[in-house]
Structure 1
Amino acid sequence: MVRKMKVLTTSLVAVSLMATVLAACGGKEEKPGTANPAPAAGGEAPKDVSYPKSVSYWVSLNSNVGATMKSFGEIAAYKELEKKTGTKVEFQHPPVGQEKDQFNLMLASGKLPDVIEYTWGTAPKGADSLIKEKRIIRLNELIDKHAPNLSKVLKDNPEFRKLITTDEGNIYVMPFLLGDELLAIVNGPVIRKDWLDKLNLKVPTTISEWETVLTAFRDQDPNGNGKKDEIPYLFSIADNEYNHLFVGAWGIGMDFYNEKGKVKYGPIEPQFKEFLATMNKWYKAGLIDRDYATTDAKLKDAKVTNNQLGSLSAYPGSGISRYTTLVQPTTPNFSLVGAPYPGLKAGDKPLGQYQFAFSGIGAAVSATAANPEQIVKWLDYKYGQEGHLLFNFGIEGESYKMENGNPKYTDLIMNNPDKLPITQAMAKYFIASWSGPIVQDKRYIQQYFTMPEQRDAQKAWMAADHSKQMPPITLTAEESSKTASIMNDVKTYRDEMINKFIMGAEPIENFDKFVQTIKSMGIEEAVKARQAALDRFNNRK
């Protein structure tokens, strides 16, 4: 079951004339650690802390940063961090699009920067192996001794410690953590509300209701141009894999999922045949975009902005908000609504998108770093009260101001004078809009979602079943090497056959052959490896 996260989620309260800001935790004031008290907002960093003079730091260049800057060193929060700690940071950004290759080459070379920030779950070898090979170091003892802020976060949230600890008991990163489950659900089905209203239809909640709505979109000219050019729904394999739309209605995923502690692979389950049959029926009927398989992001945008597309999977920001801004000038009635994930029948709880509080993203300290204790102290600053505000909200008086004990973004962020999108304006000041070694604050997303439609969509998506989501398991080096090629081949074949089944190039009657082919590729060995990893995860303390 999904557990509520309680760290740094409630309002900050001013408790002194110096405007000391404390993060409330479960309704109680957060008490600073005795070894290294978290600095008060607006104050100085603790005098007794010895921070490193310099740090080399490898991290991918976020696209919102790259739109206006060349390096993370230009972000206001990092500039302020240098003032507070005296640590100069040499950021190393791999070329955009080459991050994975550059990461692997860097590890293989052994020539490592002091800090490596990465999505470690995608690393070719697990963290335990990288520790043994002396690429990165175990952080448990360093965190206990030199990171009082993160230590408190982990003490207050035992589920966080379990997530960031490997099967062999190693903590290997200063983690990026979602501070509230509100931050975990950010994608789902979106549908044209103005079209529904015009046709006197309600937001669909079941597969059959979706079929009724999509059929009406096809036949009743909701865009009003007198042409039968509406595209009822834009199907996507990636969407089904990420957020389980529509495959989740059958209680399965399109990849590995966890059913009461047992790992299953959705495409070889009998229900997957029913899902494919339904999508094939919709495709034949013209309810699914005929060109879905070749529709990239630009084409998708064009179909929305040309007033043709009736429904799709989307995010509240890059989907609902952006499309509304783009389309309303030419189509004033344009309106999107987030629909709940549909079940097979009323009252069902289908699978939906969900992200665990930790997903493998964090900053590791390399084994070649000369001063790991100081580096951990420096990274820990971000988990304290002042660092939390700095990296979630930026500079007080510039990017945010305090109102009734809560940080509120200024017009520099929300209505940027240079007309920067909100995410790019945020990126000039802080990192909360993507990731990094911090606890992400829910008040970031509450303000980022400026439209009630965005907040309502998230509420609708939260009603889905998240219990079958695979936690961030870690495969051993042996398990990874044995199953990596299996899954590459399986995924390629799976995607090819899904398209053939849906488009009718392959009859649904051949589904059993499809299952047998996947089994012959070694999927059962891959399931076995993930079952072992899930068992190890569940046994973590």
Structure 2
Amino acid sequence: MVKRGKKIGAALLAATLVLSLAACGSSSSTDQSKGGTSAEGKTEEAPKLTHLSYWVSMHPAAAAQMKTYAEMGMYKELENITGVKVDFQHPPTDSAQASEQFNLMMVSDKLPDVIETSWIGYPGGPEKAIQDSKIIKLNELIDQYAPNLKKLLEEHPDWKKQVTTDDGSLYMFPFFRGGEKVRVFYGPSIRKDWLDKLGLQVPTTIGEWHDVLTAFKEKDPNGNGKADEIPLYFTKDDVGIDAPFLGAWGINYGFYQIDNQVKFGPIQPEYKEFLTTMNQWYKEGLLDKDFAAPNDKLFDAKMTGNQLGAAPVYNGGGIGKYANLMKDKDPNFNLVAAPYPVLNKGDKPLWGQKDFATNGIGAAISTSNTNPIETVKWLDYAYGDKGDLLFNYGKEGEAYTMENGKPVFLPDVLNPPSGVSLQQSFAKHNRSTWSAPFVLSDEFQMQYLALPNQRDALEVWSQPTDERKMPLVTPTKDESSQYASIMTDINTYKDEMFLKFIMGAEPLDNFDKYVKKIEAMGIEDAIKIQQAALDRFNKR
């Protein structure tokens, strides 16, 4: 749930790096009965570890207030429970630098004991990482030493399908979104106070959006007497896999499927129609002039400076964040969710943001790990009953209290001071507002979505069918290098042309030439690879 830091599942490989550990060989006699039980209710022997190093790309909400995840309430309490000290090592938050550091790490002789990342993005997929002797196959270890995760996978075979390779390998301790309420957290938003001032309704179609954005530009809804309103902010990343605005044409910015047949959105005729509309909006001044060079701090300044009328945002890191930042500065500020737009009134939206049970992120154990059994036990703690409380909420008494048998966050966690976002408040205690190897609960989500606008957003953004979304497929080892070679060039070109077409640097009359160039770059071969991967996934 993060942005401006958009969905981890769609980010670059390094943007989703999270954990790695380097174990020492000494043992500890801590008693795991202090912290949890097995799936069968039996007390487990403690993991015989005393020290782990854990390499993680730190989330901005945590980085704003701590130097290491070791300062987080959840991890401090986990150390008290298990006796295992974790030394977190954080790469730069810049995705390019993090990617470079990850790549250097993966070719080194000594790997961290545990590496958490989006393994779907590993070249060749997670099975290739096993074949490359970078991470270990976990099937037998989970079967013997991870009763909590084993039970969970047995109870949810669809989840197991999503975290198993085409060859049947389990390779990580996954991040799971446990229920429907925690799988939708991103979508279009709009200033309802501006709409009310101008006597307008929340738009639902592309045509209505055009009318509303034009009014935002021309009718001074912020009331300062200046023509400084920015009607709509969205970037290439916002178009993305979940396709706000682009999805109105029934396609997305990457691969999708119709009746199990794979297609590539940016070469479809509908994509030209989308670009034509966005080019018109850009010419009319309805799009932020800085959309080609997104900047999170600049976005924050524009939103809190009462300039932005609409933008795709996160529920917690957007609607909740700005409501809290603006509650003292402007009591009238009212950012609400808008439906994913369609072309025709009454159409059912096909595209929206909804994660699968897993987003491909998880903690894998490297081949350098000298204590894999103990590490498996340590990681499995998160999937038990007490681990569920710790990872979703934090330490009891510091972050939450039990009321009528249910965990309830303390008032100072749910009501941070002005200038501190709710996500930052939670980040002192847990990683539940982004990801970690555990099961995120609906009960957590409904407390995190503390504001009526946030709960309304969950309902509004849950409407799309997402029937065309590709599952988390992976190419084979043989397909991987070919696919990467093709798509690296194609993605660079399509991103470049996305900006040129919208900004008018490239005339839309050249769209057919653009399509032919992508075809010449090998897109049909990439579609065949994706099709084969989809067919294998469906047979898992």
Distance 2:189 2:490 in 1: 30
Match of 1:61 in 2: 58
Q: Which residue of 1 aligns with 2:271?
A: 272
User: Aligned-pair distance for 1:337?
Assistant: 1.4
1:405 aligns with 2:405: yes
Report the Cα distance in structure 2 between the residues aligned to 1:374 and 1:159, rounded to whole angstroms: 28
Asked if structure 2 preserves the Cα contact closer than 8 Å seen for 1:51 and 1:85, the reply is no
Q: Within the alignment, does 1:325 sit opposite 2:324 as a pair?
A: yes
2:86 is matched with 89
- The AA in structure 2 aligned to 1:346 is K
Q: Is the 8 A contact 1:475 1:530 kept in 2?
A: yes
Q: Does structure 1 conserve the Cα–Cα contact (< 8 Å) formed by 2:324 and 2:420?
A: no
Which residue of the partner structure matches residue 117 of structure 1? 116
1:258·1:470 contact (CA, 8 Å) conserved in 2? yes
| Dislocated runs of 4+, deviation >4 Å | 416-420
Unaligned runs of 5+ in 2: 1-32
Higher mean Cα deviation, 506-515 or 382-391? 506-515
**Counterpart-to-counterpart distance in 1, 2:400 and 2:330:** 34
Q: 1:57 to 1:131 in 2, by over 3 A?
A: same
- 1:415 to 1:289, Cα distance in 2 relative to 1, 3 A: closer
Shift of 1:538: 1.0
1:71 is aligned to 68
Write the mapping of 1:71-220 to structure 2, written as runs, cut at 5 A.
Answer: 71-97=68-94, 98-220=97-219
Distance 1:455 1:416 in 2: 19
Aligned residue for 1:258, secondary structure, equals strand
Structure 1, gaps ≥5 residues long: 1-19, 24-30, 38-45
Quickly say closer, same or farther: Cα 1:94–1:295, change in 2 above 3 A.
closer
CA 1:298–1:529 in 2, change beyond 3 Å: closer, same or farther?
same
**Cα distance, 1:159–1:105 mapped onto 2, change above 3 Å:** same
Alignment of 1:450-529 (within 5 A): 450-529=450-529
- Given that residues 60 and 118 in structure 1 are in contact (C-alpha distance below 8 angstroms), is that contact kept between their aligned partners in structure 2? no
3-state DSSP of counterpart to 1:90: strand
Change (3 A) 1:84 1:471: same
- Is 1:427–2:427 an aligned residue pair? yes
Q: Deviations over 1:131-170 (max 9, x none)?
A: 1222111111111111111111111111110000001110
Q: Which amino acid aligns with 2:85?
A: K
What CA distance in whole angstroms lies between the structure 2 residues aligned with 1:445 and 1:152?
23
Query: What secondary structure, in the 3-state scheme, does the structure 1 residue paired with 2:358 have?
Result: coil
How large is the RMSD of aligned CA atoms in angstroms? Answer: 2.3
| More moved, 224-233 vs 275-284 | 224-233
1-side partners of 2:212 and 2:63: how far apart? 41
How far apart in 2 are the matches of 1:416 and 1:265? 44
State how far apart, in whole Å, the 1-side matches of 2:53 and 2:234 are.
43
TM-score (normalised: structure 1): 0.88
**Corresponding letter in the other structure for 1:430:** N
Deviation, structure 1 residue 452: 0.7
Worse overlay, 430-439 or 90-99: 90-99
Please tell me whether the aligned partners of residues 325 and 420 of structure 2 are also in contact (alpha carbons under 8 angstroms).
Answer: no
2:440 maps to 1:440: yes
Write the deviation string for residues 457-499 of structure 1: whole angstroms up to 9, x where unpaired: 1210110121211211112233221122322221222122222
Q: 1:532 to 1:384 in 2, by over 3 A?
A: same
Taking the aligned partners of 1:226 and 1:95, their CA distance within structure 2 comes to: 42
Cα 1:87/1:299, change in 2 over 3 Å? closer
Paired residue for 2:229? Answer: 230
CA contact (8 A) 2:234 2:291 kept: yes
Which amino acid is the alignment partner of residue 535 of structure 1? D
How far apart are the structure 2 equivalents of 1:432 and 1:85? 20
Distance change >3 Å, CA 73–CA 310, structure 1 → 2: closer
Cα deviation for residue 416 of structure 1 reads: 4.6
When residues 428 and 336 of structure 1 are mapped into structure 2, their CA distance, relative to the original with a 3 A threshold, is closer
Amino acid at match of 1:490: I
TM-score (norm 2): 0.88
Q: Which residue of 1 aligns with 2:39?
A: 33
Deviation at 1:295, TM superposition (A): 4.4
Which amino acid counterpart does residue 415 of structure 1 have in structure 2? N
Contact 2:325–2:419 under 8 Å retained in 1: no
Could you tell me how far 1:419 is from its partner in structure 2?
7.4
